[in-house]
Amino acid sequence: MTKASLTNACRHLLVPVIRMLQRSGVTWAEFADLSKEVFVDVAGRDYGLQGRPTNASRVAMITGLSRREVTRVRKILGGAEPAKTSPGSSIAQILSGWHLDPQFLDAQGRPAELPTEGERSLQSLLKKYAGDTPHGALTKELLNLELISECRPGVYEVHAKEYVRSPLDPDMLRQAGVALHDHGATLAHNVDSQRQAPARFEGMATNPRVAPHRIEDFYQFLEKRGQALLEEVDAWLAKHQHEDTASEENIGVRLGAGVYLIHDEDKR
């Protein structure tokens, strides 16, 4: 792979990212600082020798930054707070668990009505799928979003299988970052000439000559078939998830698949 080919591909993939940043008021200077931090972080983690973190001199050589600048950026990275699970991502996991986890299903395989406390309860559901996120705040948010309701005093029922977010919801932006990262990680793995593992599945189906009046038809087709596929994948993952939730060790790896619609509106 030539550097020119890689930079051209990078320019193409950055277009939607820059659009998203500009619509949110992020300036070039802020993006430059952010990209510098990521360059230093990746070089430090991926290019160490004999399993050790990469030293500042080697990071400087790889990134093209001065050793002094690498040291400064590393201090910024070292002082950053750990990422926290957002309420939106927790909500999605809670709804999925309530619909798929046998522990929270009734005799007919439907989401059970859950009391506040007990072995099979809303509290145990939140503990299993939301971890340390405050359960009181999550319950309130689920009620406010009308995703659940109190059908009887102290007993809750669920009304939705997925969390449909507003485009203005900060968690929507978080999810966009996760989706771009996950797809990019698969592509980066596949084009790595030094990779030891087999290529990961990645494919697309497009046609540049679809009649414009069929756009809405395709939207509906993919929404129906894509959601069906994701539900099948979700069920497989739930069936094969690690059962040991008591310890932080050996709890498995993050696996999954994504489906997205392609609609090229650029006429250039």
d(CA 161, CA 124): 18
Helices 122-130 and 87-100: angle between axes, nearest 10 degrees: 120
Residue 132 amino acid letter: D
The pLDDT value given to residue 21? 83
Q: Which residue has the tokens 């080919």?
A: 5
The pLDDT value given to residue 50? 63
How far is it between the farthest Cα atoms of the chain?
Answer: 65
Structure tokens at 98: 């309530």
48-65 mean pLDDT = 83
The pLDDT value given to residue 51? 63
In sequence order, what are the residues at sequence separation of 6 or more whose Cβ sits closer than 8 angstroms to the Cβ of residue 101? 125, 128, 238
* Cα torsion angle, 236, 238, 244, 248, sign: positive
Side-chain half-sphere exposure of 186, counting CA atoms within 13 A: 13
The pLDDT value given to residue 81? 39
Task: Report yes or no: 91 and 143 within 8 Å, Cβ to Cβ.
Answer: no
d(CA 45, CA 79): 17
Q: What count of other Cβ atoms lies within 10 Å of the Cβ of residue 81?
A: 5
23-30 mean pLDDT = 78
60-80 mean pLDDT = 88
Task: Report yes or no: 9 and 48 within 8 Å, Cβ to Cβ.
Answer: no
Listed residue (71, 35, 36, 30) closest to 54, CA to CA:
71
Query: Is the pLDDT at 163 greater than 50, yes or no?
Result: yes
d(CA 54, CA 45): 7
What phi and psi, each to the nearest 5 degrees, are found at residue 150? -90, 95
107-125 mean pLDDT = 94
pLDDT digits (tens, 9 = 90+) for 169-212: 777 788 888 899 999 999 999 988 889 999 999 999 999 999 99
The pLDDT value given to residue 61? 92
Task: Report yes or no: 139 and 122 within 8 Å, Cβ to Cβ.
Answer: yes
Query: Is the pLDDT at 246 greater than 60, yes or no?
Result: no
pLDDT-derived band at 247 (thresholds 50, 70, 90) equals low
pLDDT digits (tens, 9 = 90+) for 123-132: 999 999 887 7
The pLDDT value given to residue 19? 86
